[in-house]
């Protein structure tokens, strides 16, 4: 999945001559944390954040009246070094870069022209959908060694029970050198497959099923 599949195309934007008052109004009305600043041809020239607006109110123009501050153009507070995303960049790479730069949103551009916007909320919503957590389902986490064939062997157990896997993730166990296979499955009663996994020697990291003890006692 790439950025253009999840980006917002109805982007709220301003020009550098628009007043800070307009930015405040837009942020409050639309609950925005970032507003791209563009030229008349939609070329991206800067960005302002809710933090920039707060800093302007209490720092940059601290010796002026609030109404005077709000009448200043946004070019006085906008950032011109903007981290941008290309529509064809993979969502995972976008998330990694936002985390690395410690920012919560980025404009999407093509040849310096604004075409969309991606926020941390967009990425979170996408993760929920990719994990299938927005649909009736169950999650099963299996601890395995870093040996080839482990994923296929565990998947075969789900197939034996006629359980459909809708998504899965692999991540390292923080306590050991093992890996965690996190499956989202289309089944609400998963006690039988948990028992089979345990019988095959797999350690279940989660969940704990009522009336069946902890995962280690399944």
46-70 pLDDT tens trace: 999 998 888 776 655 555 566 788 8
Q: Which CATH number fits domain 135-205: 3.40.605.10, 3.20.20.100, 3.10.580.10, 3.30.2130.10?
A: 3.30.2130.10
How far is it, in rounded angstroms, from Cα 190 to Cα 207?
Answer: 10
Written as six digits, the tokens of 194 are 């948990």
How far is it, in rounded angstroms, from Cα 134 to Cα 190?
Answer: 18
Supply the pLDDT for residue 218: 41
Report angle CA 88, 91, 97 to the nearest 5 degrees.
Answer: 100
Supply the pLDDT for residue 63: 56
Topology agreement, domain 3-127 and domain 135-205:
no
Strands 34-38 and 105-110: unpaired
**CATH topology assigned to domain 3-127:** CBS-domain (3.10.580)
Residues of the chain predicted below pLDDT 70: 57-66, 208-218
The SS3 call for residue 39 is coil
* CA atoms within 13 A of residue 149's CA, in its CB half-sphere: 0
Written as six digits, the tokens of 76 are 């006085």
Written as six digits, the tokens of 190 are 């998963």
Supply the pLDDT for residue 69: 81
How far is it, in rounded angstroms, from Cα 201 to Cα 117?
Answer: 47
How far is it, in rounded angstroms, from Cα 190 to Cα 173?
Answer: 23
**CA dihedral of 76, 80, 81, 87, whole degrees rounded to 10:** 130
Supply the pLDDT for residue 209: 55
* For the chain, domain boundaries: 3-127, 135-205
Backbone phi, then psi, for 45, in 5-degree steps? -120, -10
């Amino acid at each position: 999945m790439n950025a253009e599949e999840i980006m917002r195309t109805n982007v709220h934007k301003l020009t550098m001559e628009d007043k800070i008052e307009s930015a405040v109004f837009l942020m409050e009305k639309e609950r925005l944390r970032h507003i791209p600043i563009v030229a008349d041809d939609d070329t991206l020239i800067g960005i302002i954040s809710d933090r920039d607006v707060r800093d302007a109110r209490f720092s940059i123009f601290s010796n002026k009246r609030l109404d005077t501050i709000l009448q200043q153009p946004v070019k006085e507070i906008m950032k011109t070094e903007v981290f941008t995303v290309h529509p064809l960049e993979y969502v995972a790479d976008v998330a990694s870069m936002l985390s690395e730069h410690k920012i919560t949103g980025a404009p999407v551009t093509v040849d310096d022209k604004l075409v969309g916007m991606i926020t941390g909320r967009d990425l979170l919503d996408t993760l929920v959908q990719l994990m299938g957590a927005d649909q009736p389902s169950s999650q099963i986490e299996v601890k395995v060694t870093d040996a080839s064939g482990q994923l296929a062997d565990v998947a075969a157990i789900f197939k034996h029970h006629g359980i459909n896997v809708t998504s899965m993730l692999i991540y390292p166990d923080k306590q050991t050198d093992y890996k965690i296979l996190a499956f989202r499955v289309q089944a609400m009663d998963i006690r039988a497959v948990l028992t089979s996994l345990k019988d095959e020697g797999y350690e279940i990291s989660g969940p704990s099923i009522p009336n069946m003890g902890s995962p280690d006692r399944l």
